[in-house]
Amino acid sequence: MKRLALISFALVSMLAFAACSSPTKKAERVTMDFFKALNAGDYDKARTYTASEQAEAYVNLMSYFDSDSVKVFSQEETPERTTKIASSEERQDTVICYVETTEQPTDPTDSADVFKQKVVLTKVDNEWKIVDIPMK
């Protein structure tokens, strides 16, 4: 009887744990890891979260603007960035995350810049991957 109760408890615990890890939460985690890599300048790591030419082109563009050849033309230091997920929605096999990135001003008299982006993720080989980041 104890054995049956223990097995039942273990089964219920596993089901509760599985219910807490929703597809949206997993996709949000991938999105945050992607932006952490971008903000840290780790573009190779950021590419591991992408699964389309468009998303990889976005990473390449960010890499280009962070390169030494472009920094020569700009005397400004790189601003500190923080990223958060404002909201997300799940649609069949896709999760859309709406991300806000805030760039802190280098001049204390300026206000922070907030950039809003839509990130589309889908499952590729049973892992959430970024497939679209519309560039405005």
pLDDT tens digit sequence for 45-71? 999 999 999 999 999 998 988 876 545
Would you say residue 75 has pLDDT above 80?
A: no
- Domain span including residue 84: 23-104+113-132
How many CA atoms lie within 13 Å of 11's alpha carbon, on the beta-carbon side? 6
Pairing state between β 113-124 and 94-103: antiparallel
In a domain, 15, yes or no: no
pLDDT of res. 3:
61
* CATH at 126: 3.10.450.50
pTM metric for this prediction? 0.75
- Helix, strand, coil abundance in the chain, percent, nearest 5: 45, 30, 25
Residue 9 domain flag:
no
Q: Examine residue 100 and state whether it is found in any structural domain, yes or no.
A: yes
Instruction: For residue 2, tell me if it sits in a domain.
Output: no
Domains held by the chain: number:
1
11, part of any domain: no
b/e for 66-103, b at 16 or more Cβ within 10 A?
A: eeeeeeeeeeeeeeebebebeebeeeeebbbbebebeb
